[in-house]
Structure 1
Amino acid sequence: MMENSISCKILLSVFGNEAPHHSTIWGGAPTTAVTEENFDAVRKLIIEYRHVTYREIEASLKISKTSIQKILHEELGVRKLVSRWIPRLLTEEQKAARVNWCQKTLQFRKLKKCEKKPTKVIRSRSVSKKMVATFVSKAGHIATIPLNEQRTVTADWYTTICLPKVITELRKINPERRIILHQDNACSHTAQKTRQFLTEKNVELLDHPPYSPDLTPNDFFTFPKIKNRLRGQRFQSPEEAVDAFKNARMQMCINLRGESFEKQ
């Protein structure tokens, strides 16, 4: 054991954070960490924390990066898209749902052309890094709610702090107008508590296709293929350029028949 501990220290001094974990090299260690127990543990982590990294999984479960890669890519069959873990291969039903969502959204955007132009929002530079939930509409910014010390959005925080503020701000603009909310399929968004809250507040949900972070407007605005398609066009305002970008992104998903895309 002493010899192995010394070996660990030597590796750590040479490779730093890239060194293998102690459990990877100590005498008598299991021949593999690729077990059903670790499958379940990794699966739980990527469901609860969609942005979790290899380093965070390694620190949490005390298994090597090689084992983590094997579990993620070979056993669970997932990959990273827009910094989130999604299934490597989408089913035909999931692809169809993505295409249908884009077609409905494009049609919806055509019907909303008569709405007033978005309001420009002046954003000051922040003095520190903070996690916030931001809500916008075609008319502009609605609300930004800080998560404070929370790492993730929970259904309790979402329904007691976040959504009430958003709904209050929207009602100030037009108390009688219906509210249509578009959100992704995060656990806090699809929880029974959240759905019940939205029903009680008469908020309609615009469905989001499964495993589609590349179709989430607020999370995906740097996209080379779209930039190439827009290059050379002239727009009357920044808002018009953003609209053209969004429409082109929806059309790309339709053209790809629902396949995931990032840098096509």
Structure 2
Amino acid sequence: MSKRITPFASRYCSTLDCLKEAIRHKRHGLLRRGNVLQHDNATPHSANLTQQWLQRYGWEILPHPAQSPDLAPSDFHLFRPLKRHLGGMAFETEDDLISELRNWFDNLDVDFFRVGINSLLSR
């Protein structure tokens, strides 16, 4: 594995910084209990810079076997309910769609993602 910092890893770490701040603001106390991520084995996810970021903040990564797209929680837990929600809707602009998506995510039950992640254990 290369030790150089790729722009993709740097950008991914910036995304993780934003995620950490969003959790800090929206889910008070959650950062102190530890966080668990699942991401695939893409280069930005496995890069040294990303691994250092995860270690610095004590975030855990769920193992994801190589070449296992069937384990992506978004495929079975996120997209199906989102597709049901958006079914039959029409949007005049991209901003209208983005607004609806933000509204949907903002109104998800607190346990929505926890249930999805926990269901991985039974798959």
How many aligned residue pairs are there? 82
* 2:42 is the counterpart of 1:186: yes
Q: For 1:205, which of 53, 61, 75 is the aligned residue?
A: 61
Match of 2:52 in 1: 196
Task: Report the 3-state secondary structure (helix = DSSP H, G, I; strand = E; otherwise coil) of the residue aligned with 2:22.
Answer: helix
1:165 match: 18
Task: Name stretches of at least 5 consecutive residues in structure 1 with no aligned partner.
Answer: 1-152, 224-237, 254-264
CA deviation after TM superposition for structure 1 residue 166, in Å: 0.4
| TM-score in terms of structure 2 length | 0.52
Gaps of 5+ in 2: 1-6, 81-107
- Between Structure 1 and Structure 2, the one with more helix by share is 2
Deviations along 1:71-93, one digit per CA (max 9) or x if unpaired, are xxxxxxxxxxxxxxxxxxxxxxx
Q: CA RMSD in A?
A: 3.3
Structure ranking higher on relative contact order (CA contacts 8 Å, 6+ apart): 2
Q: Which has the higher strand share?
A: 1
Per-residue CA deviations over 1:50-91 (Å, capped at 9, x if unaligned) read xxxxxxxxxxxxxxxxxxxxxxxxxxxxxxxxxxxxxxxxxx
Q: Percent identity?
A: 30
CA distance in 1, matches of 2:121, 2:54: 26
SS of match in other structure, 1:154: helix
Q: Which has the larger radius of gyration?
A: 1
Structure 1 length as normaliser, TM-score? Answer: 0.26
